[in-house]
Structure 1
Amino acid sequence: MRQPTTSSPTSRRTLLAGALGLGAGLTLAACGSGSSGGGGHTTGAAFRTPQAGPVPSPMPGEHRDPIHGVPAAYDRYPSAAEQFTSVAKAPGHGGTMTALMQLATTPAPGRGSNRWWQELEKRLNLNWRPTLVGGSDIGDRAQTIIASGDMPDLFNVNHYFSPAIDRSVKQGAFTELSDHVGGSAILDYPNLARLPDWAWRNSSIDGGIFGVPRPTPLVNNVAFYRQDWRKKLGLDVPRDADEVYALLTAFTKSSPAGNGKKTWGLSDLNSGFFAAMHRVPSTWRLNRDGTLTKDHETDEWEAMLVYMRKLWVGGAFHPDAPTMPWDQQRQLFLNGSIGMHAEGFNGMVSVGGDLGVIQRNSPGADLQPMLPPGFDGGKPLVAQDTGYWGYYSIPAKLRGNKDKIREVLRVCDYFAAPFGSSEYTFVNYGINDHHFTYGKGGAPVPTTNAARLSELSMAYMCQPSELNFFFAGQPAQVAKDAQTFLHDAMPVSEPNPVVNLYSETAISKTPVLKQLVDDLMVAVVTGRKPISALAEARRAWKSQGGDQMRAEYEKALAKKK
């Protein structure tokens, strides 16, 4: 069946910009000259916002939030009978389509023994030939493929793994898609028209659209903490910096896990929570005169550093926090040794996420997201994320082949099927009675057969699964809590002002400059250097490329006016 819609299209698309997390502004400010590669967009021209499609009628058990950027929460998963069809006709023409894709988890079995792959080809009406690359390796592989000139029809671009790939985008390696998905043109692809405006805008470069983004929440670096420990210790939810200090140091000193188990407040020096407390700007501060101030150049960042030093002296951090690999940090949290840990909602509470593991390891564990309080009891300033995790581009060799471009976009439209559709269930959960079954309450229950589940590792594309707060296997309240957190966080959040701008200096210098600041932070927090060392680190950052990066961003911002 087709999903019914309301009579009028949405008008709530405010143009928000997200922030790159710790490496914010890595690859995107100063503009070069030349073609964008698509023929329909001039470098530096105004961004053509994809028009939002009609607002669908609410699904059973759906709770919408009036604040833009806050996902809907769901009490339950729609039954097979309630699921609608979002793609009326197979997108392919019966030929072959190649793709470079990120491997989500373990390697997928080959086509001959992969039922999901076989079913996908039937649904798409084409021979699907992906190159699957795991984790951070996709950055190196992408650069190798670009250098070879033998580009697949669909290409995963992720500058988190390969900042220099933005240089390839600027040099014309990919087709600019504004003529195909900008403005009302996107309505030819109804599911793509449902992707949020921020994902399109923040993944653009100099106003050009170079791919279909995989959308994520704008606030997605969330501090989850052991509420059961807090209650056991008789403490209230923290309302200022002093109460946060009391909570985190008590997690270390009071052994809230019981049975003599050693615990700590934190296992890493992730500064995001404390930056929000001290109202540090989102990577850069855009001043009224159009100039930029880097976050670590502000008094707020210095105050954050002093506070983290206080936490270190008070014992809130695990002693190995400065050097501990992320996997070990996470493992300490999973085994019940850590009281607060930053993670995205999908990684924490999705099927196979951290919450389920912690609940098995520590029965009665109660994890809750905590919105940072302002250090003085006022409001925090939360840095927005980019709101997307990579995007899927079409190589420049296809720019003159409109039929092929449309076919590739129709395939993306299939993967972008919305929550409640039969296509969404297939893309995200697989085939009923093979990859999952419908359990109690109608929620998909994944099979325990690891080989079958591995077939789905090749399904990681532009689906909006992280923008739907339904978490199979968890009570409906978990989804409502996630929505409430975003409801509170979005109004006190701020975008990175340079998120979709290009800087050649950022590409070449950010790794060194970031290491300089990170090293200074660790040295001050752990007491190896005094806070006065910050002044020299700021001078070094400026002279080694920071000022040049700033100038490029400021020039790009001036062109946007």
Structure 2
Amino acid sequence: MTPNAASASSAPSRRSSPSRRSFLASTAVAAAAVTGGMPLLTACGGSDKGSREGTTSGKEAKKILPAYVASRVVTPDIPSKNGSSMGFTGKLDVDTLKTSVPKKLGKGGKVTVMSPFWGSPPKQDNPYYTSMNDLIGVDVQWRNQDGNTYDQKLGAVLASSDVPDVVVVPSWNMMGKIPSAIISKFADLGPYLSGDRVKEYPNLAAIPSDAWQRSIFGGRLMGLPQPSPSVQSIVPLYRRDVFDKEGYEIPRSADEFMALCKDITNARAKRWACGDMKWTAMNTFGVLGGGEKPLWWNLVDGKLINRIETPEYLEAIEWTRKLFAAGVVHPDFKLGKSQATDPAPKFAAGEFLIWNNNIVHWYGQQASQATQNPDFRIWGMDIWNHDGGDPTLYAQNPAGIFAFVSKKASESVIRDVLAVANVTAAPYGTKEWMMTNYGVEGTHYTLKDGVPVKNDKGNNEVINAYVMVASPAATTAHPDLPDYTKAMVEWEQRMGAFTRKSSFWGLQITEPSRYTNLVNDFEQLEDDIIRGHKKISDMQQAVSDWKSKGGDKLRDWYKKLLDENGPAAS
């Protein structure tokens, strides 16, 4: 049970090799500290609030950000630390759930929402949708779109005049012209949420300020955020039951990992050590973040360096290539089949024992095997430095999915949207959270010893919908597997102790459009090198081409932002 991650828990399993989008998809975890104190960062040479380039932070952002008022409705069993999620391990009593929205704020209007959806969308008049709409007081009409091809639909809709009242945009879809389209097509929510105005919507006021900072586009507060972890979300998951049985030890260096993989692998017996370990390699070699493009940059000895220019980047790719070359990677990953098929059954069958994946799968895979495979145990390795020391990790942005309201929406529609968000952002342990995440008791789920268990109707209807509008401060809560809740949050806290914030962490930056496609082909090139289809020299040439085609000019653009205003994170 992963609060504010109903969409994420479905999506990554269909993108089984962790890509940039699955890396960002998890919204299961974390609230971070309040930013502030730094001046406005804008496009070089101007401070126009309508600017479509640059970013907004510090004193200017403080004028825009909603006031932060922590929720007192519930208290977590494990408080957030080092950028981790907060954790809840206790079981639930439906009769004693708290109320965070004492009266309906919706005025009965109709609101259309376009959002990515993974799976088969339910009919509009299903009991979950009608019950949620009744709770909120708004008639929400869903225009669900295939999450795997959402970027195509998003581009077409934003280029048209028929923009729904609300459009959900994940950060991994903010490529090309999408950021400037956001600024031109969507409403400024500042008049409704900035400063003390947000207190009309207490659950939105309890969203951490770092997440709201990420919701500022073109100098305006435009997005309703899903808070996400600032700590790393990719975990080297492993079959702990098999490790214990075979006496395998957890590796603490790149060499130990390779030796372990060779020991595990027996192709004749249909057992391989691991899947594609690229993202773990990026972490163990201390490579800058591979999510949104501003995180690719960091100031080192007075010069802005991009992740693709670092020796650590090439070393991580080369080490992952060696894993493939050594024959220790499951053949499905080597052939690229993992992009189209779900490796989970083969992981459960023990065909490979180490799976580089999003933290939501730590719980998800364990829960999915609880009945048919009672001996199954999945656990997470701590990330190690390739040489055996402590790792150097880089923080992820504190929000990665946003809901935007059409600029054409009337005030009544905007307030109805905020009424929806105020319910969906309710914290764990409240009636509103239970309805948002589990639907109607008896119709969509039953409580078994204090644990809500969805039935088939719940699994088909209570997914990918209202959680996409806004979410509470990032939370991990699995009362059915409290040991896993504790382990996941504590893993985040340990990794958070080794996590640094790069120069542009936490800022919503719109690059000049002429540079937006410079690195589009790098992820594919990484994968081609790892699988032996290309060489490291091809990457070195690509980096050289990137510099000459605009990378060096883009560096100057970012450097001017930094020189004039300083970083947002201390």
TM over 0.5: yes
Q: Given the superposition, is the C-alpha separation of residues 313 and 56 from structure 1 closer, same or farther in structure 2, using an over 3 Å criterion? A: same
**CA distance in structure 2 between the partners assigned to 1:272 and 1:406 by the alignment:** 41
> Where in structure 2 are there 5+ consecutive unaligned residues?
1-30, 37-41, 291-295
Work out the CA distance in 1 between the residues paired with 2:536 and 2:159: 45
Using the TM superposition, give the Cα deviation of residue 503 of structure 1 relative to its aligned residue in structure 2, in angstroms: 1.0
Alpha-carbon distance change, 376 to 439 in structure 1, aligned in 2, over 3 angstroms: same
The equivalent of 2:70 in structure 1 is 54
Counterpart position of 1:7: none
- Rounded to whole Å, the distance in 2 between the matches of 1:463 and 1:177 is 14
Aligned equivalents of 2:516, 2:495: Cα separation in 1 = 33
Provide the rounded CA distance (Å) in 2 between the counterparts of 1:167 and 1:274. Answer: 34
**Aligned match of 1:263 in 257, 271, 274?**
271
**One-letter identity of the residue aligned with 1:557:** L
Amino acid in the other structure paired with 1:88: P
Q: 1:235: which partner in 2?
A: 248
Name 1:13's counterpart in structure 2.
Answer: 33
Letter in 1 for 2:543: R
Q: CA deviation at 1:206?
A: 5.2
Is the alpha carbon distance of 1:285 and 1:371 closer, same or farther for their aligned partners in structure 2, counting shifts above 3 Å? farther
CA contact (8 A) 2:111 2:413 kept: no
Aligned to 2:395: 384
**Residue in structure 2 matching 1:485, options 483, 491, 500:** 491
Report the equivalent of 1:502. Answer: 510
Structure 1 residues 352-389: Cα deviation after superposition (integer angstroms, max 9, x where no partner): x3223345565422211122111122211223333334
Asked whether 1:248 is paired with 2:261, we answer yes
Deviates more, 1:99-108 or 1:50-59: 50-59
Structure 1 residue 73 corresponds to structure 2 residue 81? no
The 1:126/1:547 distance shift into structure 2, 3 A limit, reads: same
Structure-2 residue corresponding to 1:395: 406
Indicate the larger mover: 461-470 or 222-231: 461-470
Report the CA distance between 1:221 and its aligned residue: 2.1
Q: Is the 8 A contact 1:429 1:436 kept in 2?
A: yes
SS in 1 for 2:185: coil
Q: How does 1:154-553 map to 2 (within 5 A)?
A: 154-161=166-173, 163=175, 164-170=177-183, 172-205=184-217, 207-218=219-230, 219-253=232-266, 261-268=269-276, 270-283=277-290, 284-288=296-300, 291-322=303-334, 323-328=336-341, 330-331=343-344, 332-349=346-363, 353-359=364-370, 362-398=373-409, 401-440=410-449, 442-449=450-457, 453-454=460-461, 456-464=463-471, 467-471=474-478, 473=480, 475-498=481-504, 500-505=508-513, 508-510=516-518, 513-516=519-522, 518-519=524-525, 521-527=526-532, 530-553=535-558
Change over 3 Å in CA distance of 1:378–1:184 after alignment to 2 = farther
1:335–1:361 contact (8 Å) kept in structure 2: no
Offset at 1:409? 1.5
Report Cα offsets for 1:240-291 as digits up to 9, x if no partner. Answer: 22222222332324x8xxxx741222222x4221121111222434225664
Instruction: For residue 166 of structure 1, give the secondary structure of its aligned residue in structure 2.
Output: helix
Number of the residue aligned with 2:106: 92
Would you say the 8 A contact 2:111–2:139 is kept in 1? yes
What is the TM-score with the length of structure 2 in the denominator? 0.81
Does the 8 A contact of 1:50 with 1:182 survive in 2?
yes
Task: Tell me what 1:83 maps to.
Answer: 97
Secondary structure of 1:397 counterpart? coil
CA distance in 1, matches of 2:218, 2:236: 33
Aligned: 1:150 with 2:162? yes
After superposition, the Cα gap between the structure-2 partners of 1:32 and 1:140, relative to the gap in structure 1 and judged at 3 Å, is farther
1:42 and 1:465 mapped to 2: Cα distance? 23
Corresponding residue for residue 4 of structure 1: none
Instruction: Please state how far the C-alpha of 1:107 moved relative to its aligned partner.
Output: 1.2
Q: What TM-score, normalized to structure 1? A: 0.82
Number of the residue aligned with 2:6: none
CA distance in 1, matches of 2:199, 2:120: 35
Shift in CA distance, 252/199, structure 1 to aligned 2, threshold 3 Å:
farther
Paired with 1:42 and 1:250, the residues of 2 have a C-alpha distance of: 52
Tell me if the contact between 1:136 and 1:161 (Cα under 8 Å) persists in the aligned partners. no
Cα deviations across residues 178-229 of structure 1 (Å, max 9, x unaligned)?
3433333322211112223332223433553211112222332222111223
Shift of 1:487: 0.7
Q: Distance in 2 between matches of 1:110 and 1:530?
A: 50
- SS of the equivalent of 2:488 reads helix
RMSD over equivalenced CA pairs, Å:
3.2
Measure how far apart 1:530 and its partner are: 4.9
How far apart in 2 are the matches of 1:426 and 1:102? 20
Are 1:63 and 2:72 an aligned pair? no
Between the aligned partners of 2:220 and 2:304, the Cα distance in structure 1 is 23
Matched-pair contact (CA < 8 Å) for 2:287–2:312: yes
1:366–1:43 distance in 2 versus 1, CA, 3 Å? closer
- In 1, the alpha carbon distance for the partners of 2:45 and 2:478 equals 42
Are the equivalent residues in 1 in contact too, given 2:57–2:213 (CA < 8 A)?
no
SS at match of 2:368: helix
Select between 309-318 and 274-283 the one with higher mean Cα deviation.
Answer: 309-318
Distance 1:110 1:505 in 2: 38
Are residues 540 and 46 of structure 1, via their aligned partners in 2, closer, same or farther at CA, if it must alter by over 3 Å?
Answer: same
The AA in structure 1 aligned to 2:487 is: D
> Are the counterparts in 2 of residues 335 and 358 from structure 1 also a CA contact under 8 Å?
no
Report how many residues are paired: 516
Relative distance call for 1:466 and 1:368 in structure 2 (3 A) is farther
Name which of 120, 123, 137 aligns with 1:106.
Answer: 120
Aligned residue identity for 2:253 = D
Q: 1:137 to 1:524 in 2, by over 3 A?
A: closer
Q: Which moved more, 1:271-280 or 1:380-389?
A: 380-389
**Alpha-carbon separation, structure 1, partners of 2:520 and 2:380:** 28
Contact 2:56 2:216 in 1 (8 A): no
Over 3 Å counting, the alpha-carbon distance change for 1:390 and 1:316 in structure 2 is same
